[in-house]
Amino acid sequence: MDALTELGIEPMGVLPGGLPSFAVRDVLGQIRFYSVFSENMIRKMAAGNDELLARNFPVYRADGELLPRRFNVSAVASAIIRACYDKGLHQPTHSGGDC
């Protein structure tokens, strides 16, 4: 199981046109669209599961010491963006479900 799946985050793809926006299904099954990823947005996507975020995307001090319950926001964002591009274009449907 990859880190995003363990967190309940499912990248759905990249929205066509304009600035890149990324479709992501969160732990509640809601599809949300993001063009930037902040620490707070990522925390919401993972239902506040800082422990899992920190285990999968750890943060270390310059001396190599692990910072507990901290997660690397850039690493999470990169993983989501990479996975969305791997999925390709996301074409929302308006017949229910993926809109």
For 70-82, the pLDDT digits (tens) are 999 999 999 999 9
Dihedral angle, C-alpha 36, 39, 41, 45, nearest 10 °: 120
Confidence of residue 20 (pLDDT cuts 50, 70, 90): confident
Q: Is the pLDDT of residue 85 over 80?
A: yes
Dihedral angle, C-alpha 25, 31, 34, 40, nearest 10 °: -60
Residue 69, pLDDT score: 87
Confidence of residue 8 (pLDDT cuts 50, 70, 90): very high
Confidence of residue 19 (pLDDT cuts 50, 70, 90): confident
CA angle 69/26/57 to nearest 5° reads 30
